[in-house]
Amino acid sequence: MPQAPEQIEVKSLDDYLEVMSKAVFQSGMSWKVVEAKWPTTREAFQNFDVKKVADFSPFDIEALTQDTRVIRNRRKLEAVVSNAQRMLELDEEYDSFQAYLQEPADFDASLKTIRKDFKFMGPMGVYYFLYVVGEEVPTHEEFEATYKKR
């Protein structure tokens, strides 16, 4: 049975961005590949400083597509930047990003909301993200039974 990912204590928006970005990069890839590149990915993305990442230009993204420190999938690289921008907007709109995450009534509503607001966040990515940042999610068995390959 696979081991559950480690949960973190969120200290800032940067932590949310890092966890969400890991979910983005893991989409359709081996988690081992993502884990192996994570220290250098963190470096390339300015330690996931949400304001710095939100300010990445098309030139910065182009440079990342040539950077061997990261998984060089342009759509995923663009998604991380777009997600940082959206996270800042929602943090402002809800007075905190955590308030945004806690607004939906249940996991199903959270799944729909996060998939609408963020790029490259499928059901498993949303589940992983919410679990790691300590938000309420169904058990893994319930998730698998309800959402797998939906």
The one-letter amino acid code at 106 reads D
- Listed by start position, the domains of the chain span 13-147
Q: The domain 13-147 is classified under which CATH number: 3.40.640.10, 3.40.50.300, 1.10.3720.10, 1.10.340.30?
A: 1.10.340.30
Determine the pLDDT at residue 80: 98
Contact by Cβ (8 Å): 100, 91: yes
Average pLDDT for the chain: 95
The pLDDT value given to residue 79: 98
pTM listed for this prediction: 0.95
Comparing C-alpha atoms, which of 114, 37, 77 is closest to residue 127?
A: 114
Q: What is the pLDDT of residue 1?
A: 47
pLDDT tens-digit map of 85-119: 999 999 999 999 999 999 999 999 999 999 999 99
* Whole-number pLDDT of residue 149: 62
Pair of tokens at residue 50:
């949400």
- Greater confidence (114 vs 4) lies with 114
Q: Which residues, in sequence order, are CB contacts of 105 under 8 Å at separation 6+?
A: none
- For position 33, what pLDDT does the model report? 94
pLDDT of residue 93: 98
Pairwise CA distance, residues 126 & 28, whole Å = 14
Specify the pLDDT at position 147: 86
Q: What digits encode the pLDDT tens for the residues 16-29?
A: 999 999 999 999 99
SS3 content of the chain, % helix, strand, coil (to 5): 65, 0, 35
pLDDT digits 0-9 by tens, 34-89: 999 999 999 999 999 999 999 999 999 999 999 999 999 999 999 999 999 999 99
pLDDT in tens, 26-36: 999 999 999 99
